[in-house]
Amino acid sequence: MKDITTMSALELGKKIKAKELSVADAVKAQLEIIKQRDPDYHCYITVLEEDAYAQAAEVQSRIDAGELNDSPLAGVPMAVKDNISTKGVKTTCASKILYNFEPTYDATVIEKLKKAGAIIIGKTNMDEFAMGSTTETSHFGETKNPWDTSRVPGGSSGGSAAAVAAEEAFYALGSDTGGSIRQPASYCGVTGIKPTYGTVSRYGLIAYASSLDQIGTIGRNVSDCAAVLEVISGHDEKDSTSVDEKSYQYTQALVDDVKGMRIGIPKDYLGAGLDEEVKKAILKAAEVFKSKGAIVEEFELHSVDFAVPSYYVIACAEASSNLSRFDGVKYGYRTPEFDGLQDVYKNTRTEGFGNEVKHRMMIGAFVLSSGYYDAFYNKALKVRAIINQGFQKAFEKYDILLGPTAPETAPSLGESLSDPLKMYLSDIYTVSVNLAGLPAVSMPCGRDSKGLPIGLQLIGTHFGEKDIIRAAYSYEQSGAYERPTTIAANQGKEA
């Protein structure tokens, strides 16, 4: 039998159901890999070793009793981004201001995963309050890309993507505000799905930008991501933005057939700023779809030109409001030095928040201030509407859109933080998807001359998850890109 931690999540789930492995075996193997590799990669903020074995015993008894026969992921260890609330387990948002915060409840997605028999192995590192594209702004230290530890894993869900890539988790949850699942999935050579806004409950997700945030999945392949998404999707009365769709049976879309599918490639995504090796890999992937019977053509999508400035105005404005609750009074860090309530607020927030968070909160307060609201925030909302209209016009002609996930492969550690504009532009192909509330998947489609993964992005119309899952699965089945068996044995090598 091959090593347990090299299996896909669904493969492990089948072996546990068939009694070829126990849940405790899976947990033990996973914890051993974390102990070996996480000192190098720092994927986790919290590892739940003792609790994982307790979960394993409970889930094993439920499996033995036949309670989880319909759950393909029962007994499979997984990781959770540290901005998703877990009852009695630290949920820090990678910030000093929440360094000791333990929620009194589980997020809805956690409740659903526990019901399905998931084993939560730990909470993953991230950019502080999800503000960043490299997982370098974490109060607890940077995460490193398992393919090359001199490079970033992307962000803000970099810990989740790196954990899956390094076989420190079979799958993971992330949150995506402007590409925070898809971009690190691209950098780390794994698959990530950001669903339609409202498809997955945000109850228990500590908010960055409420109208953009969406919980999604990161896995080693499309099938794992689809299976997890099927578990966590659904209407939630505790989330007023949750949508009551009738069908979330995403695994039914795992069909190797794109014949007749209409696929559009925005010419705007292939222009200046896109690395030539990335462009070559994306166009090569497009040829794979053509060879399988899809109709592929390029078209103009001009409205995305203004996506990045619009996104940062809206996201920062919402962040300045959402983060006002962290003031040293109710929970988390409180400054030891203060003279009166105003000092508590000022000193706690000064000492508790990192620089990137402060920058974005200040931008948000500025664009919402009197005299600037119409000039910036209101104008950004109008641009957002235009972007949405542009996508809807495209979907009148195409079933899905295809393009790169990021303009280049993973940059070196420190490179993006020294050039904030470059960091913001790394999300140029992803933020418009969040502004329009669309579903999208990032999956590996090759590696560059440095051996770093390249990500392919497929975008669907609202509630078009099944289309992008079918296309992604079909591409995966073509064998155009094969994920190396173990990342530890294949660092820096050509696929």
Distances (CA, A) of 132 to 417, 418, 443: 9, 13, 21
Tell me how far CA of residue 367 lies from CA of 210, 307, 360, 384, 478, in angstroms.
Answer: 17, 17, 11, 16, 48
Catalytic pick among 138, 180, 186, 310: 180
Q: For residues 409 and 406, give the distance between their C-alpha atoms in angstroms, rounded to a whole number.
A: 7
* CA separation for the pair 473, 414 (Å, rounded): 35
Question: With contact defined as beta carbons under 8 Å apart, do 222 and 198 qualify?
Answer: no
Catalytic residue check, 247: no
Residue 180 is among the residues annotated as catalytic for this protein:
yes
Q: Residues 85, 156, 442, 474: which is the catalytic one? A: 156
- d(Cα 102, Cα 90) in Å, to the nearest integer? 4
Q: Is 17 among the catalytic positions?
A: no
Cis peptide before 242 (omega within 30 of 0): no
SS3 80: strand
Among candidate residues 81, 96, 194, 466, the one labeled active-site is: 81
Beta-strand relationship, 191-194 and 440-447: antiparallel
* Alpha carbon separation from 303 to 176, 182, 221, 377, 384 (Å, rounded): 21, 21, 31, 17, 9
Give the Cβ contact number of residue 341 at 10 Å: 11
List residues bridging with 44 in a β-sheet: 124
Nearest alpha-carbon partner for 338 in 346, 330, 350: 346
Catalogue the active-site residues: 81, 156, 180
